[in-house]
Each structure stands twice: as structure tokens, then as C-alpha cells.
Amino acid sequence: MKNNKKIYVIMYILACILLIGIIPISLFLCNIPDYLTIIFCCLLAVVFILILKNMSKRIKKVLFTAFTITVMCVGLFGNYCNPYWNSISFRNNAIRTSKAIDTELSQKEALKDLDYAMYYLKKLHPACYSDLPDEINQRYEQILNELKSAENITVIELCQKIEYIFSAFHDGHTYVKHLAENTLYVKDLYTHTNNGEIIVAINGIDTSELRKQKQDLYSFEVESYQRVLFSNNITNLSGLTYLGFDADEGITFTYETPDGTKEDVTYFTADFLPYDEYVKYNEIPQNNNEETSFVYYEIDEDKSLAIMTLTSCKYNDEYISCVKEMFEQVKKLNIRNIAVDLRDNGGGSSMVANEFIRYLPVDEWKDSKCKWRFGCLKIPFMNNTIENEKYSDLTFEGEVYILTSSSSFSSAMMFPLYFKDNNMGTIIGEAPGNTPNGYGDVSIFKLPNSQLFMSISTKEFFRPDQSKTVNLVEPDVPCDSSDVFETLYEQIEK
């Protein structure tokens, strides 16, 4: 009997370790099938009952039962209510490329990828909390029938079909896309654009018309952001293939010069080059200095201006140190204006804004409200008042300007949003590429067979100032993103 008790205890400890241990494994190492959670829960329940039968003291039974239930709840929550279960968001070992665009998948493989995408979409996206929205469901049924009638499908075709479903959300954070191992660029595009030429047609189709025709292949909230995505696609082979063009047959670009002259140039597969060869072919001057940091600043004492450039919203020691150093110099030199350049910043952590605001004379400010999807739960976080933990010795009393473009996205939209809705500064440039009332805070996955990259929003956001009815972060001083500094200097002079 004593030997049996020891075996039961060992089995109990092992079941607890397995049930809890698979949670970090799914987050940081590899995918864990959902059924293992159920198996380990059942194993724990069986051993629990066997041990409980041999317990005599009531208090021990109560404590043992409470502990077991807690472990089971943690295990079940860690899977079915965890927005990052089997996500690659925190995996340093994850390969961030997809299979080649022309790789053929069997019908079974394609259907498995579609099921995988829809499972996590239903589990995580706030708009799918009750059920799939009608338009999403209709598109899903359409694509499901198309895949069932196809024997094979290429990776890029599967990407088009799943993105067609996802794009109906009009959520720039929820999408499926192909990540090429080696991006191949149109060989002489740099030379044409450097001469002031623009692409006005592809295979005889006006680019504006083409962009409208292909809008269901893009997830976006603001039309200007779709233009950014489309413009990126037409520069490289995988992007053009995604849009339905075949380089083996030839792709004809129509370039228009500044004086209105048009020229047709046809490119074939051999005319697309890896980046290093592209740079060499176009004789693009290279900066041999150290790689520029994602955050840096410069000070113009004559204009009493400090400009901080932030190309990515990374909240880390480098950012914290750079911001502090800038405000120390601002105080030392008595600088009266600070500009934050967020143009072409694709986002990251909204904490970069929080850290910056700590240097401003603000006691409290309003953050975005949100509802966060945890599987079968959707929890509201509606108290959005932030107590500002100021750096009182470096408080900046001057003017703050935020510079934006249509490709300022996600957290690079929230940065100017906080300043706009809390009246903390002046926004100059273009409206950022997504809306303040929308979705975000993504969980990232790879589809099992195609290895397509999938991003799904887990939060629904509401802008701090709900009295603003336009669902954009509208600049206080609108201008083309290329003219922000000229406009900034005009504002300072005023």
C-alpha cells in the first residue's frame, strides 16, 4: 500500500508539472496540441481521486482539493484562454520565412492551414467573440468550397484566399502574408524613382485602378495605408506574384517622368535581384558607418529645437537612455521645442509614448480603453486614467511636435493619439495608417504547411477622447510627409 501511495504521489507531481509545463513550452519553444491539456487534466484528476481516497484528515483533503483545482484551472486557462498559446510571438527560435511562393500544397494541406487560421481567428479576435461576423463567414464558406474543389494550390494562392477572408475585418493588425526568404527587387526601380519617375500602370492597368481591384487582398483601416502596402508589393517579385502577375510571361511597368513622358519597361524573372545585387546594379551609395539606431536625436540650437527620430517603437534600455539623454541636453541648452519624428514607423510598444510623457508637466492623462479577448472571455479595461510618474528634475515646459505619415502605424499611431486627445502637443504631417477605434495587440502564428505568417488582433481599442467623432488621428497642421520639417520650422517661427 505504501508503495502504491509513493507511485500515486510521483504520478500526481508529474501530472502537475506536465499540465503547467506545457504552457511555457507552447509560448517559447514549439506548438502543443490542445488535446494534451485535456489528457494531462484527466491524468491529474484520476491520480487526485486515488490519493484522496487514502487521506483521512479533512483539512488535508480540503487543501489538497483546492490545490488540485487551482492547478487544473491554471492549465486550462493557460491553453484555452491564453491569447499567445502556440503563438510564435515570443519564440527566438522561430524561422520567420514562408515556403517558396510557387510551392504546391495538396488539398489536404491547404484545408489544414485554413482550419488552423480560422480556429485561432475564432478563438482570439474580439469581433468573433459571439460568432463569426456574417461577411467573414460568407467569405470563409466561399474559400472552403474553392479549396475542396482544387487538387493542389500554391502557397501564394493560399495566401490570397485566406487574406481575402481576413481583409473583411478592415483591421490592419489581422492579416496573413508571405515572408520571402530572399526578397527579389525590380532591378532598376531605384534608378527610375531617383530620376523622379513614378509607376503609373502595370501591364496596361492604371495603378490606382489596380489597387482598387486588389483591395480585398489587403487588411487595412485607412485607405492611405493600403497605398503603402500596395506600393511595397509592386517593388518585388513575391509582391507582384501576390497581385497576380507572372514574371515568366513578363511584367510591363509604365513609368512617367516629371515632364509627363511615359515609357514602358518589361521585366522577366531574371530582372529581379537580391538586395545586395540590387544595390550594386543601381550603384546606390552605401553608408559604411555603424548601422543607425532605431532611436536617435539631434539638436539645432539656432532654432532652439531637438528632434528625436524613432523608426520603431521599441521600449528597451536603449530607448529609455536616449530619451533621458536628450532631455538632459534640452535642459542644459534651454531648448524650447521638441519634435518626435514617427514617419514610416511601423509600431511596437505603446510604452515608448508613456516614457516620453514622463518628461512633460502632466499630472495625469487619458490612455485608450480596451477590451481584451482571452478565449471564451472578453475582459474590459475601461479605467484609462494614467497617473504620470514625472521625472521632475527634467520636466520640459516647451512645445512638443509629433511628425507623422500615412505609414505611421499601430503604436506609432497611438503616440500622436495620446498627444492629440490629451492636448499635449501639435501633430504635423499626415493621418497615421490605422484608426484609434479599432483592433490591435496581436498574437503571431505560422500556418503549419505553407508557413505563412499570420497576425491576429486580441484587443478592441477605444480612443481616449470619445467626443472626437472622426475615426482618425487628424494632424493639427496637415501637410505631405515629405514637407514636415519645412512646416515644423514655420510653426516654430510663428
pLDDT in tens, the chain (494 residues): 456 788 889 999 999 999 999 999 999 999 999 999 999 999 999 999 999 988 888 888 999 999 999 999 999 999 999 999 999 999 988 888 999 999 999 999 999 999 999 999 999 999 999 999 999 999 999 999 999 999 999 999 999 999 999 999 999 999 999 999 999 999 999 999 999 999 999 999 999 999 999 999 999 999 999 999 999 999 999 999 999 999 999 999 999 999 999 999 999 999 999 999 999 999 888 765 556 799 999 999 999 999 999 999 999 999 999 999 999 999 999 999 999 999 999 999 999 999 999 999 999 999 999 999 999 999 999 988 999 999 999 999 999 999 999 999 999 999 999 999 999 999 999 999 999 999 999 999 999 999 999 999 999 999 999 998 889 999 999 999 999 999 999 999 88
Residues 249 and 362 in one domain: no
Whether the model pTM is above 0.85: yes
DSSP per position, 343-396: TT---B-THHHHHHHTTSS-SEEEPPEEEEEETTEEEEE---EEE----GGG--
Asked if residue 179 belongs to a domain, the reply is: no
Among the candidates 282, 312, 332, a domain finishes at 282
Closest CA relative to residue 192, chosen from 251, 247, 269, 265: 265
Residues 396 and 462 in one domain: yes
pLDDT at residue 93, rounded to an integer: 85
DSSP 313: B
From residue 408, alpha-carbon distances to 31, 199, 373 in Å are 33, 23, 25
Residues 416 and 443 in one domain: yes
Among the candidates 248, 282, 316, a domain finishes at 282
Closest CA relative to residue 159, chosen from 493, 481, 451: 451
Residues 216 and 343 in one domain: no
Residues 257 and 399 in one domain: no
Asked if residue 94 belongs to a domain, the reply is: no
Closest CA relative to residue 32, chosen from 16, 21, 48: 21
Q: Which amino acid is at 413?
A: M
Question: Which strand (E) or helix (H) includes residue 315?
Answer: none
Residues 389 and 450 in one domain: yes
Closest CA relative to residue 270, chosen from 191, 185, 199: 185
Asked if residue 146 belongs to a domain, the reply is: no
d(CA 249, CA 267): 9
Residues 306 and 411 in one domain: yes
Q: Total structural domains in the chain?
A: 3
Three-class DSSP category at 19: helix
d(CA 342, CA 208): 26
Closest CA relative to residue 338, chosen from 347, 329, 346: 329
Question: Which strand (E) or helix (H) includes residue 338?
Answer: strand 337-341
Residues 275 and 299 in one domain: no
Residues 486 and 339 in one domain: yes
Among the candidates 233, 261, 282, a domain finishes at 282
d(CA 18, CA 167): 38
Residues 360 and 448 in one domain: yes
Asked if residue 145 belongs to a domain, the reply is: no
* E strand segments, 146-275: 152-154, 175-177, 184-186, 198-202, 205-206, 251-256, 262-267, 272-274
d(CA 460, CA 221): 14
The four Cα atoms 428, 432, 437, 438 give a dihedral, to 10 degrees, of -170
CA 63 to chain centre: 44
Asked if residue 154 belongs to a domain, the reply is: no
Q: Residue 230 sits in which domain range?
A: 184-282
Asked if residue 68 belongs to a domain, the reply is: yes
Find out whether 478 and 426 touch, Cβ atoms under 8 Å.
no
d(CA 221, CA 494): 34
Question: Which strand (E) or helix (H) includes residue 421?
Answer: helix 411-421
pLDDT at residue 2, rounded to an integer: 57
Q: Tell me the CATH number at 360.
A: 3.90.226.10
DSSP per position, 441-477: EEEEEE-TTT--EEEEEEEEEE-S-TT--SSS---SE
Residues 353 and 432 in one domain: yes
d(CA 203, CA 265): 10
Asked if residue 150 belongs to a domain, the reply is: no
Residues 300 and 278 in one domain: no
Q: Tell me the CATH number at 236.
A: 2.30.42
Find out whether 226 and 235 touch, Cβ atoms under 8 Å.
no
pLDDT at residue 287, rounded to an integer: 67
d(CA 206, CA 214): 12
First to last CA, the chain: 89
Asked if residue 49 belongs to a domain, the reply is: yes
